[in-house]
Chains A and B, each alone.
Chain A
Amino acid sequence: LAPWLPVVGLEIHAQISSNSKLFSGSQVQFSAPPNSVVSFFDASLPGTLPVLNRRCVEAAVMTGLALNCSINKKSLFDRKHYFYADLPAGYQITQQRVPIAVNGSLSYSLCIDNKMSQMVTKTVRIKQIQLEQDSGKSLHDDTRSQTLVDLNRAGVGLMEVVMEPDMCCGEEAAAAVRELQLILQTLGSSQAVMAEGQLRVDANVSVHHPGEPYGVRTEVKNINSMRFLAKAVDYEIQRQIEELENGGTILNETRAFDSKLGCTVPMRDKEGKQDYRFMPEPNLPPLILYDAKSLPANMNHQQVVNIDWIHERLPDLPSVKRAKLVEQYGILPEHSFTLLNEDGLTEFFENVVKQTQMKPKKVIGWILKDLLSYLKQHSLTVKESPVSPFLLADLLNLLEKKQISSTAAKQVLTELWKGEGKTPLEIVKEKKLELIQDQQELEQICQAVIDGQENEVIMMVLG
């Protein structure tokens, strides 16, 4: 059987972290009471006009720069028309012709095997980033045959990040999205929490034989977590391969991931082959961005977004942070990945290092093996850890000073998890776990042991 090459591209919608919406002044608030943060413009009241939110533009520029994109100094807004209950104006304002950023790349890492012992770096091309409005939410109440519409989310700013089909499986897709998520969170341009709908991923999947043209692709939607992303993509790849090997064909359709059944199903023909009748948005002039060279001298700075100014103020991206951790602390690259992957873990680690004489190379083991596994076992976040950096550092110092053995240290740690407020030293004393440092005392103990085992000693001396 000829091998199959799966091809995976992603369309990711990241909600912009801003106080107000993309084109109106109403607040961006998760879980607000229904229809309580809706401006006249969001509700599409006739005669209202869009006014562009500067912060949203800055967020998109930051993200574009972090993803190595070219920032378009002139970009345009368009209307994308379709009728749906959660789209009050009957169109979405988006950037179809000329988006704000294009032609970037994202590097991400994968483990070769499950043990995190060998990592390989991959790159996915970023086709573009565009600014657009989020829609409201509609809840279908089938029992009462009605649809409930909540417009709180209508008009919230989104960055759509389009990743080219450079990925080949669920794991790569998940790793790429994970890295994007970290970048967005580092920049602060999006909080990117999938569970809160701040990061939504649609996957485009197809398969083909090497040397042949790409196959028909399907779009997979309704993926609500990183884990489901990998599952959905892998399922769809498998489904397509099986279908084709059985002589069937792949339809260019949209499918939804059913997390309960772990499979993809065709979606209700909600959009079908829609003609969105794109048209330029006449109420918004072209978006012009400046850099240090093109910035006119007498320009009102309130009205201007300067790309270079934003570039200068970009924080360290995850890849840079990881490299710094490896260099500064002598830990392995895979360690740095785990540190950054857990919210707050890097901080915890660095705090412990500050407070202990133990070398970071050794501390990392305690962090990644003992602390982290305990947290995972009990589904706790780093912030919820009953053991603080101070306590752990204290314990490690005892170990470093050879006051206790490594086995004893683990026992103390187990006690510390209980969070009873005892210090490591107290626990050591309580459980009599101290290493004996006194030579004479040691000799006495050894002698006592030997004395109690006379026969064995004679056997050993005789050979």
Chain B
Amino acid sequence: AQVEGLHFQVSAALREGRVSPAELCQRCLSLIKGTKFLNAYITVAEETALRQAEESEKRYRRGQPLGVLDGIPVAVKDNFNTAGIETTCASNMLKGYISPYNATVVQKLLDQGAVLLGKTNLDEFAMGSGSTDGVFGPVRNPWSYSRQYKEKSVPKSHSEDKESNWVITGGSSGGSAAAVSSFTCFAALGSDTGGSTRNPAAHCGVVGLKPTYGLISRHGLIPLVNSMDVPGILTRCVDDAAVVLGSLAGHDPKDSTTIQDNFKPFELPNLTDVSKLSIGIPKEYHAPGLSSEILALWSKAADLFKDAGAKVIEVSLPHTRYSIVCYHVLCTAEVASNMARFDGLEYGHRSDMNKSTESMYAATRREGFNDVVRGRILSGNYFLLKQNYENYFVKAQKVRRLIANDFVKVFRSGVDVLLTPTTLTDAVPYMEFIKEDNRTRSAQDDVLTQAANMAGLPAINVPTALSERGLPVGLQFIGRSFQEKQLLSVAKWFEKQVKFPMIQLEEVKRHEHGVFQHQKSASFS
């Protein structure tokens, strides 16, 4: 039996009438209430969700569901525009902001009958790798409360309670990852600019897909770095990710960076024979700080492919070590530009300071943005100054080209898919995470994920095994441009081999219903 997925399980249950969309919605809503301490949701759209569920129910009764997603409860990261539902980006700048339009991906989900439960928590404006730096507070990793983690954690003293050693979700799409991980929804949208979908997916033990840049529309996704952002997909299994991808991908006339070619949603094949595959192991991804545990898992995974007959070879992406610095320059430059629109005039927070327009701008932006955002704006503006532009921005673009070319060369040499770790360690406790600042953390945590954004390539985190501390560890596959089908096929095969265990959460057990099947886990490690 595979992990609960909508493709095999819930969709069938809905179609066969074993469960109704309204019931499903109610259960998810009450589970959200029961897991409030995770702080995964910023806004729960209870009324509209129930209404959507009722509409879905009518369609099922008529025998006319819109598709596989009809009636499926989903959650959306709070940096996607949702008409009529607050969109905050976890920032004071947009607290109370109700957008008049839906992001294209949100519209597509709604058009297929998905039930939008609410907006999930994140680092402010998606800047961060912990989901700890938003104005609504940090997101807690559901695994902090799992039996698997509690069994392994030894309280240092009596006075230390479970509250203080909870671990982070990773970020910046931590709320979406936590929502999927804790069963409050069946799929969630995140965004991925430097790893923001794959990183929390790894820490929360869920599938996190970063599609090829240009495949899915960014219209309505509040941008961090326009040339690297993509909507990310978080689900509990690879098949589900393929289904959601199929419903979202394709040209959007409202987004000029989406490719024109017709996208054909695909049925994911059940790969049994991997002997024709060539798996590349990039040696530079054995990065400083990589835990020995994860290194061992990575090695084991490589062996898994080798034993199954695939060709596994070491490859080199020589410019990997420059990508963090390059990313920092390009990211901050775009941030400085993208954040220029937040001036308090047209929407969002406006300061009471009104001595002059300039003073109003300054006060509004100081009050509306946190330190992380302001820091990036200042850096970015510095790099864009006329006297610095060539040395920083243009130089970084050139390095970016080199990084992208590294991948081109490797794929051209016959490698189909790259296998790497997703994160350097398992999730750290919040108290430890906040000892370093956001910039330092981001620089550390993005190392393994962010080159894929530079190159625009598709990449996916597949939950692999539990660490010694009982927390999820994932591995990453990076594929060729627009070859999501191949990438996901390999990921699905791997997922089947490792049989990642289901999270054992007290709260989920209480809300359990017949649709969820118990998982017999053969742990990978």
Contacts and interface: CB of A to CB of B under 8 A. Distances in A.
A449 B303 CA distance: 132
Nearest to A82: B340
Which DSSP category, helix, strand, loop or mixed, fits chain B's interface? Answer: loop
B393 A43 contact: no
Interface in B311-364: 333-334, 336-337, 340-343, 345-347, 357-358, 361
B340 A81 contact: yes
A71 B132 CA distance: 51
B186 to A, nearest CB: 25
A272 to B, nearest CB: 13
Contacts of B103: 47
Contact of A147 (B94, B99, B225, B357): B357
Nearest to B218: A49
B386 A81 contact: no
Given A40-B100, A49-B219, A79-B337, A284 B346 contact: no
B386 A47 contact: no
B256 A83 contact: no
Nearest to B252: A49
Contacts of A51: 253-254, 256
A417 interface: no
Given A47-B103, A283-B256, A90 B341 contact: yes
A275 interface: yes
Contacts of A85: 345, 357
B346 A88 contact: yes
A433 B138 CA distance: 100
Contacts of B357: 85, 147
Interface residues of B, number: 44
Nearest to B103: A47
Contacts, number: 98
B226 interface: yes
A43 B346 contact: yes
B337 A45 contact: no
Interface in A327-343: none
Contacts of B225: 282
Q: Which among B103, B255, B336, B337 has the greatest number of chain A C-beta atoms within 10 A?
A: B337
A44 interface: yes
Which DSSP category, helix, strand, loop or mixed, fits chain A's interface? Answer: loop
Contacts of B220: 47-48
Interface residues of A, number: 30
A80 to B, nearest CB: 10
A50 interface: yes
Given A282-B226, A303-B260, A44 B346 contact: yes
B341 A89 contact: yes
A90 B340 contact: yes
Contacts of A46: 81, 87, 89, 94, 99, 222-223, 341-342, 347
A47 B219 contact: yes
Contacts of A40: 100-101
B221 interface: yes
Interface in A255-287: 275, 277-279, 282-285
Contacts of A279: 333-334, 337, 384, 393
A230 interface: no
B257 interface: yes
A232 to B, nearest CB: 28
A149 B345 contact: yes
Interface of B: 80-81, 87, 89, 94, 99-101, 103, 218-223, 225-227, 253-257, 260, 333-334, 336-337, 340-343, 345-347, 357-358, 361, 381, 384-386, 389, 393
7 contacts: A46-B341, A47-B81, A49-B219, A79-B337, A83-B361, A277-B384, A278-B389
Given A47-B222, A79-B337, 6 more contacts: A48-B220, A50-B256, A51-B253, A51-B256, A277-B336, A284-B256
6 interchain residue pairs of minimum CB distance: A90-B340, A277-B384, A282-B226, A282-B227, A44-B341, A46-B222
